Amino acid sequence: MASRAVYPGSFDPITYGHLDIIQRGSRVFDELLVVVADNPAKKPLFSMVERVDIMKGLTKKLKNVKIDLCEGLLVDYVRSKKANIILRGIRSFSDFEYEFQMALANRAISADIETVFIMTSEKYSYISSRLIKEAAGFGADISKFVPESVRGPLMKRIGVRK
Ligand code: PNS
């Protein structure tokens, strides 16, 4: 049976760290659905549709990767796509507690869906969308952390604090 995994996240914006997980996930699973999901704890800079558009452009060469969005409960989305795997990236030990809690909560709600973790390349282990937005706001060069199709719209949206 072909494996189909869902890789959810805020992706606000997508970084080289996320792209690294997408590439790794596309080698592990037959199909990978990368899904912009709603994290009520965050106030996003980009709309879900903007994030989806940017991510489609960046992943079009990966034939088994699709980009989508999910506005409700993640496990309902996973089931609606006939998938049974949630993929999440881990950068460091400090990610573990949050990921552990989310994986167990998702499993309690839906016992047939497993969460699988892939380690991010050490090159990207310290980057996060939040840090990149903060650095960009203070005028830092963020080209090491995000592709040009993210940097342009991000700099326009965020402005630079003088
Ligand atoms: O990139 P993030 O912000 O760490 O991703 C978190 C996300 C979006 C995957 C999580 O908040 C989520 O799954 N949201 C969808 C709504 C949902 O199902 N919430 C319960 C999760 S236990």
Q: Is residue 151 part of a domain?
A: no
How many structural domains compose the chain?
Answer: 1
> What is the domain extent for residue 27?
4-123
Catalytic site residue 144? Answer: no
CATH number, domain containing residue 23:
3.40.50.620
- pTM here? 0.97
Give me the phi and psi of 106, to 5 degrees please: -65, -35
Residues with CB under 6 A from ligand 1: 8-10, 37-39, 42, 73-74, 102, 105-106
pLDDT number for residue 63: 98
- Name the catalytic one among 3, 27, 42, 47: 42
Residue pointed to by tokens 């969460």? 115
Of residues 27, 22, 23, the one with CA closest to residue 6: 22
The distance in angstroms from the start CA to the end CA of the chain is 56
Give me the phi and psi of 103, to 5 degrees please: -65, -40
Q: Could you list the mean pLDDT of each consecutive 10-residue stretch along the chain, which spans 162 residues?
A: 96 98 98 97 96 98 98 97 98 94 98 98 96 95 97 89 50
